[in-house]
Structure 1
Amino acid sequence: MSVDNETDPNRQRLGSIMAAAADARAAGPGEHTVLLPRISTDPLDDLVERVRPQLGQAVDSLHVAAALEADGLTDRGARVEYGYHDVFALATEVFRRLGPTLPKPRGVPARDPLAWRESLRLIAHGPLYALPSTAFPAVLAIVGRRSLVLGLVLASALGWVLAGAAAHAAYRMLGLGRPRAAARVLTAAALTAPLAGVLAGAGLVGLTGGGFALIAMIACLVAYQLTSTVLVFYRREPWLALAMTPAFLVGAAYLILGPGLRPWSVGVAAGCVLAAFVLAVLLAVHRSRAAAVREVPLLRALRPEVPGLLGVSGYALCSAVLLLHAEAPYLLGRLDIAIAAAPLILTMGVVEWRAERFRPQAVALVRRVERPAAFVRGVWLLLGREVAICLLAPAIPAVALLAGLSYLGLLSAAGIVMTVAHVALGGAYLLAFLLAGRDRFGWLCASMLAAITVHVGLGAVFGAVPLLGRSGSALVDTSLYLGSVLLLQALFVLGLAGILGQARHYR
């Protein structure tokens, strides 16, 4: 609501200035006349003209309010400088004075920025991550159960960190208009991955034993994670699927037909990883050479990104530890607990898809509502719906998995609890994607470390920490893990509380 013209201090101040100008014009011929610049009779007109280039196509007053807040205008400024009791009231008048626009009619949905093919591409990421898994039984028979567990833990953590840092750096370079730098980052990361796997594997063998087969397995796993990163970055998921399908099929045949196919399963899996790796490297090299723009040297371009890369690497490492520290102790003998993460892995593409869909939906919400309070309420309802979807997605295969284990007589209460914990992680990872999209890596790492500390710390109190060599109740341990995952969800929501409802993030 605007202040009356007679009492508006801004109008009074303008009146004094204009009166002084009139006195100057009435001065005698012996005096100099001061020509004042033409000014508006209303300071709000100046504001409207200043923001018109950016907000000429504003769809509603909430859009204007978000822009004014982003420009540093506060409720106090709206009152003191323009005579309106808050930013939204001022934005309503600015929007009116901007003149008519041609917004899309209410009831006509905006064009979905993610076509159905793009949605299917994202959803398919989960099964792609699981394609090599059918080769693990044959590898297990060669390297041994203990070596397989240690190798999986080490390779997963190392690959997770390298892939996360490489993808972040590549997307940053691409976003800054440096496609050649993005391709070089991916090329360097892909070529480094097998070497890093060999060095890590050699260190593990030196400490625990295991032999050359363990080193080769770790190198292949790390190489596959970077291969997936490159092909997903360039939207070549079909290439990855075609390259790895033979490994999946031969591994499945080994599970059905027995040890006679063991060498074939291991050999075909290694060959498929090598083929996909070569494709990924050649693709990245081709994109680097095809980029026609001139760019600054790669190291100079990456220097400002070091803080972000450290944050992403820390987040990736904490994510790996969060999953593996609870799973690893049971990989040797508790099948129902060991495979509890399978439903989550299969549906991580759904979580990624819903995280990508969140921002367009929030932008559409900004254009529909007319008051800040309505937007805040709507965006939290939107978040609740998306979290529910990301809980339902892994819950469906989880029910099928538990039914199969029960039929085989392999299901226990601890297995059920661990599966529920990984279903809950689906919602947690959606929240993590949203926090990562706002560069809240410090909060992400601190929250995950707190959840891990609670699980291990309380487990030590109750004497149920297999990770520390305790032989306590598996049910107590998995229940504590479920509790730590729920705590993690709460911490992630707390991290979003201060930023989720700010309309300026969805301009």
Structure 2
Amino acid sequence: MALRVIRAPGRPQWAPEDPLDELAERLAEVCAAAVHPYEIAAVLEAAGLTDEQAALRYGRPDSFALAEDLFQRVQRSYPEPKAPAVDPWRGSLWHCLLRGLVFALPGLAYLLAAPLLGSRSYSGGADPGTLALASSVLVGWSWNQALSHRAYSWLGLGARAEAAGCLGVGALLGALLGAAAAAPWGAPGAVVAFAAGQSAYLSAATVLMVLGRQRYLLVAIAPTAAGAGVTLLVDLSPAQRGWTLACSLAVAVALAAGRVLRSRRTGRSPAAVPAARSASLPHGLFGLAVGVLVLLASLGDVWHFGAGGAVNGPSAVALTLSMGAAEWLLYRFRSRSLAGLRVSRTTSEFLARTGRTLIVTLGGYLAALALVGYAAALLWPNAPLLDGLRLPALLLLGAVLWTALLLQAFGAAWPPAAVCAAAAVAETAAMVGHLADPAVLQLAVCGGAALLLVATAQAQLSRVTAHR
């Protein structure tokens, strides 16, 4: 509907047009929606109109008098109430918790395979079997993190067939690299075989999760979960344990291969141009650094104290299980930040809202991590309790992981990768040099990294342009 501007009455035909009429036409929408002349005055001042200009151009003593005239000349026409804004970041809590469970359930394979691996600790360090498994895990985490980013870059362009092709080739290479990483340590054949199977499962899981079929992994891991449950009641033979693990692996690989073949038939997108391969490099570096930090938290005592050290398995379990809550809280941060962007009137107000949202969501994740960590420590046989410095060290590592994921979610890949890589190098060097107790090292290194990442997140995410 056209807005009606009431022109000054009684003006002769030969007289020049009142410049206020032109200004009223230009600001018609603002004037029609105003409930008080001061709203129009604020717009005029924001446009740089001074009292001197109001007097020279429009013959009014100041901008407030000019605003009152504009308010009278334009009929009121208030806009209809807008429908509530749709929140694009509303994540399902149960869906996120399911993903966390999918991340954690493969750990049951270690429980089922423990009698087959037969690892032992040597004085002053970890045994070849542990080193072989750790090397395979690190290669797998790093490779599949980069592979996921590469595939998602194709999916973001609507090129599902290209994403499936990338995943098919990349998953095969990742499985081979993970198996090769376990070979040079002189570990027993059963350990190398388990590492190869672990790498193949991780590659298959990456394919299914990127293609949105993470629920298939519940089917794949069901034999291993059932076998691990049976071992609590009766002892299984080595052959039974091996066949159960092989069954889960075969199902996972078959499901992943099926999804790749089906997605390849969706048709190619010749116009799609993905990001350069180098864009996936920080994601791979981040996966490697996180893997090192988690392994040091789990095996630090073994490598530092030798036979007297205990595996801190509950820390790794807690971090893995908490990823579901972490993902949901990332959604909550984005949702609340977007809501704050809509209601904030100034940059400083938005900065304060973003800071409060960061504190609340990070605090919520750390609370969930502490709860899961305590539960895992109580249920894990012969595991060290989260007493003394262990709980603060675990929480600081969790703060590093969650804040790094938050930055990655907003497209900042290199800062979290660089900080986590530096932390991993520093903690590894200090561990090799036996400079301090592993819990003290983790507390110091992860504490510094967490402070740096939180400061980086506050600086980058308080900018309005980061939330486009």
Whether the 8 Å contact between 1:243 and 1:275 is mirrored in structure 2 is yes
Supply the distance in 1 between the matched residues of 2:180 and 2:422 (Cα, whole angstroms). 31
Supply the distance in 1 between the matched residues of 2:250 and 2:351 (Cα, whole angstroms). 49
Equivalent position of 1:365 in the other structure: 340
Identify the match of residue 292 of structure 2 among 321, 337, 343: 321
User: For residue 346 of structure 1, what is the amino acid of its counterpart?
Assistant: L
Shift of 1:316: 1.5
Residue 269 and residue 100 in structure 1: after superposition, are their counterparts in 2 closer, same or farther (change >3 A)? Answer: farther
After TM superposition, the structure 1 = structure 2 runs for residues 257-276 of structure 1, keeping only pairs within 5 Å, are 257-258=234-235, 260-276=236-252
Shift of 1:391: 0.2
Shift of 1:409: 6.9
Range with greater deviation from structure 2 (484-493 or 415-424): 415-424
Equivalent position of 1:70 in the other structure: none
Supply the distance in 1 between the matched residues of 2:200 and 2:87 (Cα, whole angstroms). 35
Shift of 1:376: 1.2
Equivalent position of 2:414 in the other structure: 442
After TM superposition, the structure 1 = structure 2 runs for residues 51-450 of structure 1, keeping only pairs within 5 Å, are 82-83=47-48, 101-102=79-80, 104=82, 110-113=85-88, 118-145=92-119, 146-201=127-182, 204=183, 207-258=184-235, 260-291=236-267, 293-295=268-270, 301-302=273-274, 304-330=275-301, 334-335=309-310, 337-404=312-379, 411=384, 416-450=388-422
Supply the distance in 1 between the matched residues of 2:211 and 2:361 (Cα, whole angstroms). 27
User: For residue 430 of structure 1, what is the amino acid of its counterpart?
Assistant: W
Supply the distance in 2 between the matched residues of 1:478 and 1:241 (Cα, whole angstroms). 34
Equivalent position of 1:64 in the other structure: none
Shift of 1:180: 1.6
Supply the distance in 1 between the matched residues of 2:449 and 2:246 (Cα, whole angstroms). 37
Shift of 1:404: 4.7
Secondary structure of the residue that 1:498 maps to in structure 2? helix
Whether the 8 Å contact between 2:224 and 2:245 is mirrored in structure 1 is yes
Report the RMSD for the aligned CA atoms in angstroms: 3.5
Residue 450 and residue 197 in structure 1: after superposition, are their counterparts in 2 closer, same or farther (change >3 A)? Answer: closer
Shift of 1:157: 0.9
Supply the distance in 2 between the matched residues of 1:503 and 1:392 (Cα, whole angstroms). 29
Does residue 487 (structure 1) correspond to residue 448 (structure 2)? The answer is yes
Supply the distance in 2 between the matched residues of 1:195 and 1:225 (Cα, whole angstroms). 11
Supply the distance in 1 between the matched residues of 2:49 and 2:324 (Cα, whole angstroms). 47
User: For residue 320 of structure 1, what is the amino acid of its counterpart?
Assistant: G
Secondary structure of the residue that 1:370 maps to in structure 2? coil
Equivalent position of 2:37 in the other structure: none
Whether the 8 Å contact between 1:451 and 1:485 is mirrored in structure 2 is yes
TM-score with structure 2 setting the length: 0.76
**Runs of 5+ in structure 2 lacking a partner?**
1-20, 31-43, 51-66, 120-126
Supply the distance in 1 between the matched residues of 2:352 and 2:258 (Cα, whole angstroms). 48
Supply the distance in 1 between the matched residues of 2:422 and 2:143 (Cα, whole angstroms). 23
Shift of 1:320: 1.4
Supply the distance in 2 between the matched residues of 1:164 and 1:44 (Cα, whole angstroms). 56
**Structure 1 residues 298-350: Cα deviation after superposition (integer angstroms, max 9, x where no partner):** xxx45x42231112111212221222234334457544624322111111111
Range with greater deviation from structure 2 (184-193 or 421-430): 421-430
Supply the distance in 2 between the matched residues of 1:225 and 1:102 (Cα, whole angstroms). 53
Secondary structure of the residue that 1:439 maps to in structure 2? coil
**Runs of 5+ in structure 1 lacking a partner?**
1-39, 53-77, 86-92, 460-464
Secondary structure of the residue that 2:187 maps to in structure 1? coil
Supply the distance in 1 between the matched residues of 2:262 and 2:404 (Cα, whole angstroms). 33
Residue 323 and residue 312 in structure 1: after superposition, are their counterparts in 2 closer, same or farther (change >3 A)? Answer: same
Whether the 8 Å contact between 1:254 and 1:265 is mirrored in structure 2 is no
Whether the 8 Å contact between 1:366 and 1:375 is mirrored in structure 2 is yes
Supply the distance in 1 between the matched residues of 2:462 and 2:395 (Cα, whole angstroms). 26
Supply the distance in 1 between the matched residues of 2:137 and 2:80 (Cα, whole angstroms). 52
| Identity rate, percent | 23
Supply the distance in 1 between the matched residues of 2:49 and 2:240 (Cα, whole angstroms). 76
Supply the distance in 1 between the matched residues of 2:407 and 2:216 (Cα, whole angstroms). 31
Secondary structure of the residue that 2:102 maps to in structure 1? helix
Secondary structure of the residue that 1:210 maps to in structure 2? coil
Whether the 8 Å contact between 2:117 and 2:190 is mirrored in structure 1 is yes
Shift of 1:200: 2.4
Shift of 1:164: 0.9
TM-score with structure 1 setting the length: 0.70
Residue 296 and residue 191 in structure 1: after superposition, are their counterparts in 2 closer, same or farther (change >3 A)? Answer: farther
User: For residue 185 of structure 1, what is the amino acid of its counterpart?
Assistant: C
Shift of 1:111: 4.9
Residue 151 and residue 42 in structure 1: after superposition, are their counterparts in 2 closer, same or farther (change >3 A)? Answer: farther
Shift of 1:412: 5.9
Secondary structure of the residue that 2:411 maps to in structure 1? coil
Supply the distance in 1 between the matched residues of 2:185 and 2:455 (Cα, whole angstroms). 42
**Structure 1 residues 220-239: Cα deviation after superposition (integer angstroms, max 9, x where no partner):** 11222222222222322221
Identify the match of residue 423 of structure 2 among 447, 451, 456: 451
Secondary structure of the residue that 2:215 maps to in structure 1? helix
Residue 451 and residue 283 in structure 1: after superposition, are their counterparts in 2 closer, same or farther (change >3 A)? Answer: same
Range with greater deviation from structure 2 (210-219 or 382-391): 210-219
Supply the distance in 2 between the matched residues of 1:102 and 1:185 (Cα, whole angstroms). 49
Supply the distance in 2 between the matched residues of 1:103 and 1:339 (Cα, whole angstroms). 53
User: For residue 421 of structure 2, what is the amino acid of its counterpart?
Assistant: L
Supply the distance in 2 between the matched residues of 1:416 and 1:148 (Cα, whole angstroms). 30
Supply the distance in 2 between the matched residues of 1:224 and 1:373 (Cα, whole angstroms). 48
Whether the 8 Å contact between 2:117 and 2:191 is mirrored in structure 1 is yes
Residue 262 and residue 138 in structure 1: after superposition, are their counterparts in 2 closer, same or farther (change >3 A)? Answer: farther
User: For residue 420 of structure 2, what is the amino acid of its counterpart?
Assistant: M
